[in-house]
Structure 1
Amino acid sequence: MKYAVVIEKGVTSYGAYIPDLPGCVAVGETLEEVRRLIQEAIAFHLEGLQEDGESIPEPVSICEYVEAC
């Protein structure tokens, strides 16, 4: 499954979250680091859901870029 990832640049770091997996977040000092950490966070989050007997949410969020006029 592929989940949409939102990455935001802060003053000193990057933050990432998965809209379809509430609570699944990561923070890293570089873009490369936050990408790696969010992949690890997704795996950990899905493992936790399975261990708790909960269903894995289907990805439903869509990401697009829109040209601003």
Structure 2
Amino acid sequence: MQATAILRPASEGGYVAYNPETGSTTQGETVEEAIASLREAVELYLEEFPMDFPGVPIVTSFDIAA
């Protein structure tokens, strides 16, 4: 099963990782740590609230006028 991980640099350093399917948010000093922490959080969430993930997630970015 594939889940979505959205990572952003944290203002205090490291990364914040977010999974939109479950609403789980974690952080880590490196991308790898942030994803590992998010994987654990999503797995724990799914133990309590099982769900299916339909299809492969598509994540993109776009520019906005600032």
RMSD: 2.2
Q: Please say if 1:64 is aligned against 2:60.
A: yes
Distance 1:34 1:6 in 2: 10
Q: Among all aligned residue pairs of Structure 1 and Structure 2, give the percentage whose two residues are the same amino acid.
A: 26
Alignment of 1:34-49 (within 5 A): 34-49=34-49
What's the offset of the Cα at 1:5? 0.9
4+ long deviations beyond 6 Å = none
TM-score, normalised relative to structure 2: 0.72
Classify the secondary structure of the residue corresponding to 1:32. Answer: helix
In the alignment, structure 1 segments of 5+ residues that lack a partner are: 51-55
Paired AA for residue 33 in structure 1:
E
Alignment of 1:3-22 (within 5 A): 3-11=3-11, 12-22=13-23
Asked if the contact 2:2–2:53 (Cα under 8 Å) also holds between the matched residues in 1, the reply is no
Distance 2:26 2:54 in 1: 18
In the alignment, structure 2 segments of 5+ residues that lack a partner are: none
TM-score, normalised relative to structure 1: 0.70
Task: Give aligned pairs, total.
Answer: 61
